[in-house]
Amino acid sequence: MFNLMIMSTIIIMLSMIMMFIASIISKKSFMDREKSSPFECGFDPKSSSRIPFSLRFFLITIIFLIFDVEIALLMPMIIVLNYSNIIMWTLTSMFFILILLIGLYHEWNMGALEWSS
């Protein structure tokens, strides 16, 4: 029991010493205006950094992610072509691409792809 207490004390002391040394070493004495300011794509913010972003930009991003994932689903279809029935492969591929085109047409009609409005 006494050995366990000694080992625990040594471990705690070593941990505290290491944290103290790390905090001393990591202190930066040179404060630069660029390093202390928030990153805003290379320009200085003229107003609050908590302004809401454009909902249009968010929708375009979501549409891009959806179509990006769907492209990743289309890529293995080329490999499967060698191992499957050509008629079933064609029907499945055309059905999948038709669903993508219907979704794109719907987004176009709803105006989600128009940036300026």
Q: Residue 27: CA atoms inside 13 Å, Cβ hemisphere, count?
A: 6
Residue-wise pLDDT tens digits, 44-80? 556 665 666 677 777 778 888 888 888 888 888 888 8
Band of residue 32 on the pLDDT scale cut at 50, 70, 90: low
Confidence (pLDDT) at 10: 95
d(CA 79, CA 75): 8
What are 100's two structure tokens? 């993508």
Residue-wise pLDDT tens digits, 7-20? 999 999 999 999 99
Confidence (pLDDT) at 14: 95
Nearest to 67 by CA among 113, 117, 114: 113
For the chain, the residue count is: 117
Residue-wise pLDDT tens digits, 74-104? 888 888 888 888 899 889 889 988 988 898 8
Sequence-distant (6+) residues with CB within 8 A of 63 are 107, 112, 113
